[in-house]
Amino acid sequence: MLWSSLGPERTSNWIMPKGQGQWSSEFKVNVLHTMDLHTTKGDFKGWSVLKKQAFVARICQVMTRHVMMGVSVAAVKDTYRSHKANRAQSRRQTTSPYAWCLNWIVDNALRSTVVGKEANTHGLSLILECGNEHNTEAEKNFYAIRDEHKLEAVLRSISFVPKQECRAIQIADLLAFYSRRHGVAMEKAPVFPSGPR
């Protein structure tokens, strides 16, 4: 999971001090694990669909005050690997799908009509969930891009935090989980040549 923040004041609001309380006294959820929410396990055991929807609605309410934009990027791994194999003879290095998605997010944040001005003015800091096998590559790419394009003042930092210590990572997990499921469903959906009937 990835969270990017614009400016130092946005970053500090989302990193939780150890032992900080629940999402809200109303729901008594300590850490948002989206898979648990989806499968009604862990903190969500025994919850009705309506209660889960109310919880997500409450998160969205809070997000509107703090989140400028949410982006979900995915690469179809089989297609990506096929293209990577075709480029094997090229001298250009191809990154993992994870690092490619990260690069896409950084590039688009800097060019965005929604957040680009703030990103270029106040800087962009990335917070990734620790534990992913591709984090080292992502960090290396971040600094390579920053150095190559002389973006030291814009691409401020990349850091790694445990999910349980960062609400932003938990929200990014929520967005990624459901947007990916939606994307997979769209990939499998029948194509109507002349549009739906």
- pLDDT tens, 101-111? 889 999 998 99
Checking if the pLDDT of 157 tops 80, the result is yes
Copy the structure tokens of residue 108: 């688009």
Contact status, residue 18 vs residue 27, Cβ threshold 8 Å: no
For 7-21, 23-37, 68-82, 127-141, which range has the lowest pLDDT when averaged over its residues?
A: 7-21
Could you tell me which of 167, 127, 170 has the C-alpha nearest to residue 20? 167
3-class DSSP state for residue 131? coil
Contact status, residue 170 vs residue 31, Cβ threshold 8 Å: yes
Q: In what side-by-side order are the strands of the sheet with 124-129?
A: 2-6, 124-129, 155-161
Q: How many CB atoms lie within 10 A of CB 175?
A: 17
Contact status, residue 152 vs residue 159, Cβ threshold 8 Å: no
Helices (H) and strands (E) in the chain, counts: 8, 3
Q: How many CB atoms lie within 10 A of CB 108?
A: 16
Average pLDDT over residues 131-141: 93
**pTM exceeds 0.85 for this model:** no
Checking if the pLDDT of 3 tops 70, the result is no
Contact status, residue 110 vs residue 116, Cβ threshold 8 Å: yes
Q: What average pLDDT is seen over the chain? A: 82
Checking if the pLDDT of 193 tops 80, the result is no
Give the tens place of pLDDT for each residue, 179-188: 888 888 888 8
Q: Helix/strand/coil (H, E, C) string of 32-44?
A: CCHHHHHHCCHHH
**Dist. CA 9–CA 131, nearest whole Å:** 25
